[in-house]
Structure 1
């Protein structure tokens, strides 16, 4: 298997004009509330590279005070994740962090509300290595403050994550997808998929705040397995340690049911009242953009 995982940034030149056009229109009527961009990308497709490029270009080239935050930093505290797992011991989807339902959406709502009001707010941090890889939230005393006294106000927020923008389906839609051919859905009881689906209602409060949305999609979502295998092989070569191929597949398997359930709804468009505010970049196996769609 190839371990060449270098990702060339062919995405920010497409995204920056999309963002700036919408920011210009938005800021004219919203001079104080920051412009919030949701960014979803399948694992391994180049999301991290894109986010870094976008933040750099917006800050340096456009002079915009830009904050990047990840949904990963809103995972439940270790004790709360443990309690969730113990309260649903037969639901494998919530035994570890990852799926919708394993994030602290009360914390997220409070964070984004304060951001939108221009108030000082601390950015949550999460340590994935804590508790032998089970993870835990970093002590609040270490969180960085934005919008504090003497600090410039945040003007643009990029909120990124693999499940950012996922929206709840109707029970009928979940059943239909569960009964259709799939890679992973039938491994789990339907009621366990419904549990994850219902938790997504709590995420809508954040999704509804987005002023624009960028979706790095793949021509074939199953490539996420190959991309993660490549990344981990490169890490093993670099560090001499890392997950085995079997462990990588098991790792991706924990996330893949949500891709199978919720990706179609993301592709069809998040917004009912914000036309042409969603940008979909469809990438090939080489992670390069093959098609651009504005919804």
Structure 2
């Protein structure tokens, strides 16, 4: 992710949490897979963590584990263009990223099949297609899981920068926009409300989670620095990459969702199920500074 190697200090905290929640899950669910939602601030080491978790669960514990990303459920390029054209003044939906730019029905169908142990294809998205505008990979290239003769998927890790975000009451959106912010004040209230309203569709997925892991940062604005570091390294290695100004513009497209929805995520995703959420707060060096169970 950057010139500084990211050390995995997170999986040793997460694995015991996962196994304890899995034990509770298995006591009442013998067939349905255990679904973990994982939200990681961009650049905080989420990719490193997910790889470590999948390896330790699959190889160390013998649990058939599937990792999938919310990024693979983005709208097709055609549907994304249609969304952008139908809301030409709303910069939040002109490119993929914010809530509302995912195919939630595809995700619901996918998780429903997994929950019933059915054979299902895992969607894939190619961010490099169409000069970086991106598009969904042809379904013929998607991996199939739960095929006859295959081990049944026991654990699903569903990861992404906006996984677990819950919609706010309209008054909360207005209050956050009126308060001091890095990006929210740049957007008309109705544009922010549109994103918030679209997020309600995501609840159907979030409600399926059996456990949740949140990799948070002491200061969310570090995502700008981390992304800049990533591009600097990319430019040094490949001779190409976004300029510093382009990086800021890129992160600005995502940051409104952080400012809107992070506080609610920090307060707990499962009010009626204490102990099901693990929040790891990292410092500027991406190392865990605080561990919180919710």
Give the TM-score, by structure 2 length.
Answer: 0.99
Q: Which residue of 1 aligns with 2:271?
A: 272
Distance 1:88 1:59 in 2: 44
CA deviations over 1:98-141 (Å, ceiling 9, x no partner): 00000000000000000000000000000001111100000000
Give the TM-score, by structure 1 length.
Answer: 0.99
Distance 1:203 1:97 in 2: 16
Deviation at 1:248, TM superposition (A): 0.6
Q: Which residue of 2 aligns with 1:129?
A: 128
SS in 1 for 2:3: coil
Q: Is 2:53 the counterpart of 1:34?
A: no
CA deviations over 1:137-174 (Å, ceiling 9, x no partner): 00000000000111110000000000000000000000
Distance 2:209 2:4 in 1: 31
Q: Which residue of 1 aligns with 2:63?
A: 64
Q: Which residue of 2 aligns with 1:79?
A: 78
RMSD of aligned C-alpha atoms?
Answer: 0.6
Q: Which residue of 2 aligns with 1:177?
A: 176
Unaligned runs of 5+ in 1: none
Q: Which residue of 2 aligns with 1:199?
A: 198
Q: Is 2:220 the counterpart of 1:221?
A: yes
Deviation at 1:4, TM superposition (A): 2.1
Equivalences for 1:6-17 in 2 at 5 Å?
A: 6-17=5-16
Aligned length in residues: 293
Distance 2:92 2:221 in 1: 19
SS in 1 for 2:81: helix
Deviation at 1:235, TM superposition (A): 1.0
CA deviations over 1:219-277 (Å, ceiling 9, x no partner): 00000000000011111111111111111110000000000000000000011222100
Q: Which residue of 2 aligns with 1:93?
A: 92
SS in 2 for 1:285: coil
Which of structure 1's runs of 4+ aligned residues deviate more than 3 A? none
Q: Which residue of 2 aligns with 1:19?
A: 18
CA deviations over 1:170-220 (Å, ceiling 9, x no partner): 000000000000000011100000000000010000000000000000000
- Residues 40, 161 of structure 1: 8 Å contact kept: yes
Unaligned runs of 5+ in 2: none
SS in 2 for 1:132: coil
Distance 2:198 2:69 in 1: 19
Distance 2:155 2:291 in 1: 23
Deviation at 1:27, TM superposition (A): 1.0
SS in 2 for 1:282: strand
